[in-house]
Amino acid sequence: MSQSEINTEWQPSARPLTCQDFKTLVLSSLGGTLEFYDFVIYALYIDTIVKPLFLPHTLSPLTLDLFAWGIFAAGYLVRPVGGIIMAHFGDKVGRKKMFTLSVAMMALPTFIIGILPTYDMIGIFAPLLLLVMRMLQGAAIGGEMPGAWVFIAEHVPKQRYGLGVGTLTSGITGGILLGFIVTIIIDLCFTKQNILDYAWRIPFIIGGIFGIISVYLRRFLSETPIFKELAVRKAIEKNIPVVTVLQKHKTACVIVALLTWSLSTAIMVGILITPGRIVGGMYHFTNLDWRVGGCIAALTLTIGCVISGWLEDKLGTTKTVVITWGGLAITSIYFYSSLSPEISLTQLYWTWAAFGLFIGAIAMTPIIGTRTFPPAIRYSGLSFSYNLAYALFSAFTPTLTIYLLSPEHLLGQYSYLGAGLYISFVALIAIAVGFYPLAKQGWNSNSGH
């Protein structure tokens, strides 16, 4: 097989890491941090801002929860639309252009949320406008994350593939960490009334500025070597890429969809719902206490993503999914079973840190998913299956989690374990997927898989 043929497999050949590789990783990861911050800052303000300022006060607590998290989930429901469109052009005209467009599309709605009038000012139009902005954010993030993973997968050398994708994923999840840090600063610098009056707007306005910075940073990135070679060899997909995905790569789509269920549940339940809704709402910790805990979990999550990628390069896929997702299944049960109003902050933070570290198993989703598709339709294949699955599972995950946490429903007296059991369940699914040949080996031109 010639060098040209090798380079158009699912990843570049083995070679030493270069200064350009480090530059690409740093700029891509930082851009992902700033964009994902824009997307998740809403979730960190659901209980303290969205419910009291953007929804009618006459609604019951359960209805408020469902509406507030429903608006959050709407951002995920439109992800497939934005993802498919941007991935189509990413496979046709280049990864870099769409990689830059996605972050530009995120900046504007984030800034607009920061200046939106509240329910007391314009009534029902307030939540409706918030919903529209969340949908625009969802369309942007739909193209960002698959595009980022493909971009890095086609830049880093073969023996550093896992570490490269894991590091980028840690950069993206770093947006959650940045969100917690900003909200903690807001809590420390302003009174609760000041926050409700005006200070809540600051993180969103800052997010819009972050978006502009991200666009600027991505000007310094270069197109991926694999896409350049596809263009030179005139091997760019001639048909509509997503049609080819559906016709020839159904197994890869199922693999990505199942892993996305695991990833979306771990992030949405473990990182976004748990701090305010469970630790703050069910166990009555103060805003500052649960924000600090969430910040710790987000920090160890970013570390865990890098560790997962490093383990993938050293141990291979099967052993890594057993260690990472298996560890998450265990620590999730332990974390939620240890929660109580009497738990000390020290114990809370240590158990939360361990839980967050194993949530870093989510890096295995893009590590496995990106390599299951051939280069010509890789962006479309990953984006279609990932975003469609994310939209599907995120649509019911908040509602299902709230249902499982209610003592009046399925789990009864064991409802306090509801979130942990759900996360453990999807972790076991991820482990099972890790044993499948296509998940372990990736696509190759000889077998067609």
Q: Which positions ≥6 away from 197 have C-beta within 8 Å?
A: none
Q: How far, CA to CA in Å, does 265 sit from each of 190, 249, 361, 418, 422? A: 33, 25, 12, 12, 8
**Which helix (H) or strand (E) segment is 110 a member of?**
helix 95-115
Contacts 24+ apart (CB under 8 A), 284-293: 284/341, 285/348, 287/48, 287/187, 288/184, 288/187, 288/188, 289/345, 289/348, 291/44, 291/180, 291/183, 291/184, 291/187, 292/184, 292/349, 293/348, 293/349, 293/352
Task: Return the CATH fold of 22-441.
Answer: Growth Hormone; Chain: A; (1.20.1250)
Centre a 10 Å sphere on the Cβ of residue 375 and count the other Cβ atoms it contains: 25
Tens of each residue's pLDDT in the chain, 449 residues? 333 333 445 556 666 666 776 777 777 777 778 777 877 788 778 888 888 899 888 888 878 888 887 887 787 778 788 877 877 777 777 667 776 777 778 888 889 999 999 999 999 999 999 999 988 888 887 777 788 888 888 878 888 899 999 998 998 888 888 888 888 899 889 998 999 999 999 989 988 887 788 778 777 777 666 666 666 665 566 678 888 888 889 999 999 999 999 999 999 999 988 998 899 988 989 988 998 999 999 999 999 999 999 999 999 999 999 999 999 999 999 999 999 999 999 999 999 999 999 999 999 999 999 999 988 888 888 988 998 898 888 778 888 888 888 888 788 888 888 999 999 999 999 999 999 999 998 887 655 55
